[in-house]
């Protein structure tokens, strides 16, 4: 035996990983080959935060409209399946546009689901990895900020690919582990505030993951408008580190500063796309 310490293997491409030290302390595991990041909470703790950011009505309505527009850029689907539908607000948009809607969300009992979505939608409460094979295939399968949470991202993408009809599309939004934010803010990076964020894709790892489940026309882009408050939230955490049981955005001043600086953030992101903290996967199933 060489006495070498066993190195963890990348959950996406099976190549070796190594520890990536974070500014301010802690480490993530980074794949040497595809740049995929995984997080062990013991090595990169979440600063006392219990759950994901709970929501702010104005911001949420705006984000919902932007996300819906992003998902329907290539045309309006007649049937959709949402992985992690939450309150059903996005499914409601598709329902109002005349689509049939379905989805699964294991945390569904924690939030009130839109009544019309509950009535007309085909809703499941299993984790996506455990969902029974689909009876009805849909034109669009999507998940908004779920891939960073799930237990098995490859199985999740595989299931998404099985749920989509030939010629249909799969789309996911997830934090960008290869964005400038992680390097600049280190452990103060806002995406690390949520302890249920257990991985961060790079554009390359997301591309490889989608390709390896047999999807085609795989594209990974960086939307300019998603997660606009990431920078101000990260800067606040960097400048004034302290326990925040409800998360940094629970402070109204931080949220207000986030909205006030949005035009500056957008200008910076236009000049430098790697500042954008989100990856957008779009892929197709061959017809």
Nearer to Zn ion, 34 or 213 (CB): 34
**Least separation in angstroms between CB 211 and Zn ion:** 13
Q: Which residues bind Zn ion (CB under 5 A)?
A: 10, 12-13, 15, 31, 33-34, 36
Nearer to Zn ion, 33 or 152 (CB): 33
Buried b (16+ CB within 10 A) or exposed e, 191-224: bbbbbebbbbbbbbbbbbbbeebebeebebebbe
> Do 175 and 166 meet the contact criterion of CB atoms below 8 Å apart?
no
Nearer to Zn ion, 101 or 210 (CB): 210
State which H helix or E strand residue 3 sits in. none
Nearer to Zn ion, 85 or 201 (CB): 201
**Least separation in angstroms between CB 15 and Zn ion:** 5
**Least separation in angstroms between CB 204 and Zn ion:** 8
Q: How far apart are the first and last CA of the chain?
A: 50
Phi and psi for 102 in degrees, rounded to 5?
Answer: -150, 165
**Least separation in angstroms between CB 61 and Zn ion:** 37
Nearer to Zn ion, 32 or 50 (CB): 32
Q: Which two tokens stand for residue 238?
A: 């960097």
**Least separation in angstroms between CB 182 and Zn ion:** 16
Taking the C-alpha atoms of residue 103 and residue 236, their distance in angstroms, rounded to an integer, is 35
In the numeric block, the tokens 């961060």 are attached to: 200
């Amino acid at each position: 035996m060489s006495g070498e310490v066993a190195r963890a293997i990348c959950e996406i491409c099976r190549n070796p990983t190594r520890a990536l030290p974070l500014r301010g302390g802690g480490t993530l595991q980074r794949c040497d080959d595809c740049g995929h990041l995984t997080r062990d909470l013991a090595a990169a703790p979440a600063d006392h935060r219990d759950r994901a950011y709970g929501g702010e009505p104005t911001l949420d309505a705006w984000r919902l409209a932007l996300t819906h527009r992003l998902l329907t850029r290539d045309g309006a689907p007649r049937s959709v399946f949402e992985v992690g539908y939450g309150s059903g607000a996005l499914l409601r948009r598709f329902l109002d546009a005349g689509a049939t809607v379905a989805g699964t969300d294991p945390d569904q009992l924690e939030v009130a689901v839109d009544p019309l979505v509950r009535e007309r939608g085909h809703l499941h409460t299993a984790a996506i990895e455990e969902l029974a094979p689909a009876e009805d295939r849909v034109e669009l399968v999507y998940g908004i900020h779920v891939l960073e949470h799930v237990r098995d991202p490859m199985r999740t993408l595989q299931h998404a690919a099985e749920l989509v009809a030939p010629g249909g599309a799969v789309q996911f939004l997830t934090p960008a582990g290869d964005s400038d934010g992680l390097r600049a803010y280190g452990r103060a990076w806002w995406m690390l505030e949520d302890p249920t964020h257990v991985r961060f894709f790079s554009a390359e790892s997301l591309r490889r993951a989608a390709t390896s489940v047999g999807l085609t026309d795989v594209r990974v882009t960086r939307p300019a408008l998603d997660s606009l408050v990431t920078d101000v939230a990260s800067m606040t955490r960097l400048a004034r580190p302290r326990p925040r049981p409800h998360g940094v955005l629970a402070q109204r001043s931080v949220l207000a500063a986030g909205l006030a600086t949005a035009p500056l953030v957008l200008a910076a992101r236009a000049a430098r796309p790697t500042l954008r903290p989100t990856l957008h996967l779009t892929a197709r199933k061959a017809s």
